[in-house]
């Protein structure tokens, strides 16, 4: 099996900006087929990127692209989008669960409406995409499901401050670990990937602080780590909760300055759920 993504079809949720966009462009360089599945089809007044701009970028980078407007909370729409991508490109090889919702609020300050939103996007959508993709992934030579969620860190410092959000992200990971075992016999790899440091995305800028962007890494590090997952034979890597930097070090990467937003930054911010 060639260690590249040429001709492989990758379905990415939330790919109109940020990490999802970066993964799409990294795969497109190899000549992959990218299904850009996200809500933003028209320009947002504050946020850059749409499914159409990313599809154009992916094609300019050397890949083929299909832009599909998708709300991952709608399981029927998810199934239709997955099937449309598989039909367009003659199959499906990987699903990237990148779409996410965040609210770093304690339980007492989190409305049930907000919690339901996070639960639907962060956890429920993983099950929806996995089950919709399963028939197609079974026919792939190297099938992968990769979810952007953290290792299960049950330290009190992570359980206390914003447990509603944490519950939905840990649910994403727990589902992935279970699906890895359920799909193991079919040779479908299911893993999670999480950054060691904060990543300079719109979510960080608007939910945390714009000042944090300069002490973060670019989305490229997550894209490079995701790429390494996807080119690995699926039966050799499944049921893992991966950290981007650690995984890339295992793959021989030693220069991490290339991922800094600000090369002058001497200390970067650790991401949520990552201990020193």
For the chain, the farthest-separated pair of C-alpha atoms sits apart, in whole angstroms, at 51
Active site residue 259: no
From the candidates 165, 170, 227, 273, give the one annotated as an active-site residue: 165
Work out the burial of residue 113: count CB atoms within 10 Å of its CB; fewer than 13 is exposed, 13-18 middle, 19 or more buried. exposed
pLDDT in tens, the chain (276 residues): 457 999 999 999 999 999 999 999 999 999 999 999 999 999 877 778 999 999 999 999 999 999 999 999 999 999 999 999 999 999 999 999 999 999 999 999 999 999 999 999 999 999 999 999 999 999 999 999 999 999 999 999 999 999 999 999 999 999 999 999 999 999 999 999 999 999 998 777 766 677 788 999 999 999 999 999 999 999 999 999 999 999 999 999 999 999 999 999 999 999 999 998
How far is Cα 232 from Cα 144, in angstroms, rounded to an integer?
9
DSSP-derived 3-state class of residue 204:
helix
How far is Cα 3 from Cα 67, in angstroms, rounded to an integer?
26
The predicted-structure confidence for 162-207, as pLDDT tens digits, reads as follows 999 999 999 999 999 999 999 999 999 999 999 999 999 877 776 6
Kindly list the domain boundaries of the chain, sorted by start residue.
9-259
Which CATH entry fits the domain spanning 9-259: 3.40.50.620, 3.30.70.270, 3.40.50.720, 3.40.50.300?
3.40.50.720
Whose tokens are 């002058």? That residue is 264
Q: Record the pTM.
A: 0.96
* Residue 254: count of CB within 10 angstroms of its CB: 6
Q: Which two tokens stand for residue 5?
A: 């993504």
* Residue 259: count of CB within 10 angstroms of its CB: 23
Q: Please name the residues in contact with 153: beta carbons below 8 A apart, sequence gap of 6 or more.
A: 273, 274, 275
CA distances 59 to 7, 48, 268, Å, are: 13, 18, 33
């Amino acid at each position: 099996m060639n260690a590249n993504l040429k001709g492989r079809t990758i379905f990415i949720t939330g790919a109109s900006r940020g990490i999802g966009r970066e993964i799409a462009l990294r795969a497109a360089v190899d000549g992959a087929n990218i299904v850009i599945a996200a809500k933003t089809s028209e320009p947002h007044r504050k946020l850059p990127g749409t499914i159409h701009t990313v599809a154009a970028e992916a094609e300019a980078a050397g890949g083929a692209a299909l832009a599909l407007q998708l709300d991952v909370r709608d399981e029927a729409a998810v199934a239709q989008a997955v099937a449309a991508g598989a039909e367009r490109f003659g199959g499906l090889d990987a699903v990237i669960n990148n779409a996410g919702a965040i609210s770093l609020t304690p339980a007492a300050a989190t409305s049930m409406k907000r919690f339901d939103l996070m639960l639907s996007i962060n956890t429920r959508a993983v099950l929806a995409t996995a089950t919709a993709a399963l028939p197609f992934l079974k026919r792939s030579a190297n099938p992968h499901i990769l979810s952007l969620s953290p290792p299960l860190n049950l330290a009190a410092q992570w359980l206390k401050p914003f447990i509603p959000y944490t519950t939905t992200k840990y649910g994403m990971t727990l589902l992935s670990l279970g699906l890895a075992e359920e799909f193991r016999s079919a040779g479908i790899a299911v893993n999670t990937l999480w950054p060691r440091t904060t990543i300079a995305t719109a979510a960080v800028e608007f939910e945390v602080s714009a000042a944090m962007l300069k002490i973060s890494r670019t989305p490229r590090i997550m894209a490079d780590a995701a790429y390494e997952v996807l080119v690995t034979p699926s039966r050799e890597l499944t049921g893992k909760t991966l950290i981007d930097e650690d995984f890339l070090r295992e793959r021989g990467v030693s220069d991490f300055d290339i991922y800094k937003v600000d090369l002058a930054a001497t200390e970067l911010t650790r991401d949520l759920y990552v201990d020193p």
